[in-house]
Structure 1
Amino acid sequence: MMLGSAAECDGSGDGKRVLEYVRKASVAPFLVKTYKLVEDPATDEVVSWSGDGTGFVVWRPAEFARDLLPTLFKHGNFSSFVRQLNTYGFRKVTTSRWEFRNDMFRKGERDLLCNIRRKKSSSSNRCAMHAPNAIDWSKPNLN
């Protein structure tokens, strides 16, 4: 049984700890799909691992967006892809090319993906999103 296996791996039979293990063991589809694109040798001219395998480089962003993104994602928008990378803690390595790095996204170490978590948006951002008619408190009320 799957939960039994998770409990054995976790070293506890405690239900709460099993659920925490399962949550940590699951990997976001975005990360799995991105890893699949990067590790595929057929796409190396467009996207590949960096020289040391600690990140990846999108060599041809236009082709990446047009030809590769739509095959695994529901869009072909490079900016949206980069924004998504940022929410998972990826950082652009250099300004001279589209190279991204996350300490848990490494060549040959797919098992580390379960350690990458999506960042929560800040409460101020959530408030702003849900308050389309926000009051501008910097201006006096002239009723």
Structure 2
Amino acid sequence: MGNQKKFLQKLFNILESKEHEDCIQWSPDGKSLLIISGELFEEQVMPSYFNSTKISTFYRQLSQYGFKVKQNEKKQKQFYHSNFEQGNFEKLLNIERRQRQLNQDYDSIISEENKKLKNELKLLQKQQQVIQAQLNIHTQIYLLICKQIKNVYDYLKQDEDNEEECRIFFESIIQIFKGFNHDIAQNIFEELKNIGGPLSPQPSPILFPYLKFN
């Protein structure tokens, strides 16, 4: 087998030996190869067998020999060629390397990867926007809570006999800010209702949408 086809011989022997099945192996029907883990393949196989550390180089070589690529149900890359199958070394002689044709399949693979990365980036950007919007809402909630706290405090300060109620109120508020536990928050507002007065905060589904009101 000529120097150009040593690549195919190495690849065939790797698959037949099953030494690196954690990153590359035959498909169940033995008619294509599966990339189980691109990272492991780059780390364990590429430097030892192909004098490279870039899996993109490996993909390009497969494309040059006419391999087609698809993605299986596990989202693994699956490369196939009519003359490349398990246990049939002789058929490798029928595989010819493309000399002048542009590497359209390789470009297609790279384009697919770039498209996937762009879509993932767009999704992350949308998620970031949603998170930022949620943070803005929570900031407004906290500001409204603080205003309500100030109103209650000012109201309670008007009467020196309300010192104990002030202590209970602010201890309760601390519990709210610790995590907005539903049961704790509900009990706190029951306490605040008992304080009474025109400036007492009322449980509001706008301020506290996580609470259920009768």
TM-score class, shorter-chain normalisation, is 0.5 to 0.7
User: SS state of the match for residue 71, structure 2?
Assistant: coil
Tell me by how many angstroms 1:94 deviates: 2.1
Task: Work out the percentage of aligned pairs sharing the same amino acid.
Answer: 26
User: How high is the TM-score relative to the length of structure 1?
Assistant: 0.64
Give me the whole-angstrom Cα distance separating, in 2, the residues matched to 1:98 and 1:40. 20
Bigger CA drift: 103-112 or 89-98? Answer: 89-98
Q: How many residues align?
A: 99
Q: Which of 52, 63, 66 is the aligned partner of 1:89?
A: 66
Unaligned runs of 5+ in 2: 103-214
User: What aligned pairs does 1:42-61 form with structure 2 within 5 A after superposition?
Assistant: 42-61=19-38
For 1:6, the equivalent position in structure 2 comes to none
Look up the equivalent residue of 1:99 and give its one-letter code: Q
Measured in 2, the distance between the counterparts of 1:72 and 1:58 equals 16
Residue in 1 aligned with 2:90? 111
Of the two, which has the highest radius of gyration?
2
Query: 3-state DSSP class of the match of 2:39?
Result: helix
Q: Which residue of 2 aligns with 1:65?
A: 42
Report the 3-state secondary structure (helix = DSSP H, G, I; strand = E; otherwise coil) of the residue aligned with 1:93.
strand
| Residue aligning to 2:56 | 79
Q: TM-score, normalised by structure 2?
A: 0.44
Match of 1:121 among 73, 97, 100: 100
Structure 1 residues 122 and 60 mapped into 2: Cα distance closer, same or farther (>3 Å)? Answer: closer
Structural RMSD (CA): 1.7
Distance 1:122 1:51 in 2: 31
Q: Which runs of 5+ in 1 are unaligned?
A: 1-24, 124-143
2:78 alignment counterpart: 99
- Shift of the 112–78 alpha-carbon distance from structure 1 to 2, 3 Å rule, reads same
Task: Name the structure where helix makes up a greater proportion of residues.
Answer: 2
CA distance in 2, matches of 1:36, 1:122: 27
Q: How far did residue 41 of structure 1 move?
A: 1.7
In 2, Cα distance between the equivalents of 1:65 and 1:84?
Answer: 14
Shift of 1:69: 1.1
How much does 1:89 deviate?
A: 0.4
Determine the C-alpha separation between the residues in 2 that align with 1:122 and 1:48: 28
Question: Where does structure 1 differ by over 4 angstroms across 4 or more consecutive aligned residues?
Answer: none
User: How much has 1:39 moved relative to structure 2?
Assistant: 1.5
